[in-house]
Structure 1
Amino acid sequence: MQQRDVDGAANPLKGPLTQSAMSSLQGQRHANEQFVARPQCTTTVTSNPPVGAKATSVTVTVTAKCSAEVYDQNGAQAIAANLLKSEAATSPGPGYALAGNVVTTVTQATAGSNGTVTLLVKAEGIWVYQFSTAYKMQLAKLIAGKSQSEANALLLGQVGVEKVDSISLSGGGNALPADASQITIVVLNVPGLQGSPTPTGSPGSGTPTSTTSSPVPRPSPSSVPGK
């Protein structure tokens, strides 16, 4: 029996078996898991009796195996979102609240040689200062009796004020009313980020990873003349 006899029996089986192993691997992956990289598949061929032996018949066995590293995508995104929220508690700090959702995206996943997986996760959110009725009255008192330019400069120096769209004066004149109760502070709505919210996960100290493999063997009886 020669190698070409074994190859002739095994080669037609390699493609279908590899596809079957890949499908089995996909079935083992949980809904929240993503592959770190494209799964790697290999095939192994054995014969009984081995190549070089004389035989009137031979059994060729083809085994296909696919394996890949996976990571918990929901868990990774939840960790990144919580880290961003923790940072926002300090900067911008108290008085600010999240508008809309935190949006996270895994931008890169790399498997290390020691079984670890390194992830780069982009987390974004918009925090908006909360203007209470008391704070708006405080601002009104600050700019009471001031000119438009003076009021604009004063407001821009206050906590939570990013920009002043306009200052409108009614009844003519160049200055705001001296009575703060006659001044209305209007806070414009700031929409949150567009995009899907970060999925709920069970964030821990790290992101779990695992190696999944799916071997699929199939014997192929083949009769060849003795050599």
Structure 2
Amino acid sequence: MSGSLRQRQKDDRRLRMIHAALELFDEYGFSEVGVVDIAERIGMSYRTIYRYFPSKEDVLLGLVIEGNHAFLDRVGERLGEGPLLVTFTDAMTEALEELSERVGEDAIRTMSEQIDRVESVRARALLHSADMRDRLAALVERHPEYGAERHSEIHLAVGVFGAVAAEAQRRWRSAPSAEGSLAGEFRAVMAGLPAVLPSSPEAAY
């Protein structure tokens, strides 16, 4: 079996676990569902679940983690092609569009709603987000076009992107579930940035 085929099978198995968990959490509530229940839903051993995820909290965050990995991969491929914020936004929207195609926008929304309901998972999600931003800054600093000497510029771009991400998620969560996508909201927020930024540094004072 080729490595790529084996990896696709692992990815498919992981997505089956995540889908089953999201369905169960939505039906019964996070606290009422155990790893054994997830395993039974898809006809697997609970030990198999634990080979992929350390806990049911990590199953719930599975799509977040997959999306972050895909985002960082795409940033790495695009660095140096344009302004950092554009690179970040293009990479994130592509990662989200691919994730939506694979699992569906409803699954992403269900995951987001479940994370909001469970304080321990919400706290873990915030840690994942902070780690992703640190890894993003480190990735940019390693690129020949940037480097550690542009540390402040890089962290400013990462911070602004974090604000864009927060606003995109806020808009997406408040919209009716049948309307729009999270990727679309990212693009919309980025498109609106020129309207709230000064045209020159002097215009800010």
Shorter-chain TM-score range: under 0.3
TM-score by length of 2: 0.21
**RCO higher in structure (CA 8 A, sep ≥6):** 1
Where is the strand percentage greater, Structure 1 or Structure 2?
1
TM-score by length of 1: 0.19
Where is the helix percentage greater, Structure 1 or Structure 2?
2
